[in-house]
Structure 1
Amino acid sequence: MNRYLAGALGGLLATVPMTIAMGRLHKRLPREEQYPLPPREITEDVVERMPVNKPRGDTSLTQLTLAAHFAYGAAAGTLWGALAPKNQRPVAGGMAFGLAVWAASYLGWIPAAKVLRPATQHPARRNLLMLAVHCIWGASTAGWTRLLTEPRTHGFARKANRG
């Protein structure tokens, strides 16, 4: 499979465990830190800036948040597919990439676009939550991408010679 497509599909699939972990870890935060997680905050900000009809109701915003979150996971996964070194340790490299995506987003373009305050202005526990789930996303993205581009390394392909 094409590495870009494999990365996109890997990033999309990796967003599932990331999202589940975000929800579970969010519930463990102190009550005062349980305000909406960044994907929801970003979606609300973008929707508020839209000059057209805005979605109404919590269900619509939740669905839009999830759609945007999964689309961003797929888009970032495409970048992994393009940049990932072959035959390297995918989990460690993927985790590092996940952390780089977090840094570029929450210390970079998101505050620069005035969507959210930089991560340095959020509670440490929330940042640890987001760092952890980006590690989960990155490792999973790398694993899926490798599986989709190098299936023989995982035993899903037929062996070339059966001796």
Structure 2
Amino acid sequence: MLRMLVRGAAGGALATVALTAVSLAGDQAWLMRDRPSGRVAPGPPPRRRARPTESLTHFGFGVASGAVLCALSRGRAGLPLGVGYALAAWAASQRGWVPRIGILPPDARDDSSRTAVLAAGHVVYGMVLVATVNHLSRP
């Protein structure tokens, strides 16, 4: 069981890095910026900087989520399970604790481009998590 949790945590770490890469790419494309309603000024919208505790918490959540999926799937998760798991975690967070502590508004009130990037990042998270866990679980 401990090996399974370690494999899941490793998969979660790698998957969180991949998710972060998608978010950074979206940020570079100006898709992750705050867009006040009625903004007409040219150029990129203002940037919201993540606090270090947010980044560390997000990484820890990704690692722990990987360990949980690996334990639940007994080390062999299919791609649909991984993607569904990641999207469910994202949706629950966006409608729950993330807006409550003020990191982002609920996705229903957030900018649709940021919502799309975050959803895509979580799809990538699920794919990388499953691929890593399945690779590490080979005999």
Q: Which amino acid aligns with 2:48?
A: P
Per the alignment, do residues 72 and 108 of structure 1 end up closer, same or farther by CA in structure 2, a change over 3 Å counting? same
The alignment covers a number of residue pairs equal to 126
Q: CA deviation at 1:93?
A: 1.7
Matched with 2:116 is 128
* 2:77 counterpart of 1:79: no
Indicate the residue corresponding to 1:103 in structure 2. 91
2:47 to 18, 25, 35: 35
Task: Tell me how far apart the structure 2 counterparts of residues 105 and 72 of structure 1 sit (CA, whole Å).
Answer: 11
Let me know the Cα RMSD of the aligned residues.
2.3
* TM-score for both structures, normalised by structure 1: 0.66
1-structure distance, mates of 2:104, 2:134: 33
Alpha-carbon contact 1:14-1:137 (below 8 Å) kept: yes
Matched, 1:94 2:106: no
* Shift >6 Å, 4+ stretches: none
Larger helix fraction of residues = 1
Which amino acid is the alignment partner of residue 134 of structure 1? Answer: H
- The CA deviation at 1:3 is 2.1
Do 1:29 and 1:126's aligned partners in 2 also have CA atoms closer than 8 Å?
Answer: no
Q: Which segments of 5 or more consecutive residues in structure 2 lack a partner in the other structure? A: 32-43
Paired residue type of 2:4:
R
Deviates more, 1:79-88 or 1:15-24: 79-88
- The whole-number CA distance in structure 2 between the counterparts of 1:123 and 1:4 is 36
| Distance (whole Å) between structure 1 residues aligned to residue 59 and residue 100 of structure 2 | 22
State the match for 2:3 in structure 1: 2
Residue of structure 1 equivalent to 2:38: none
| Bigger Rg over Cα | 1
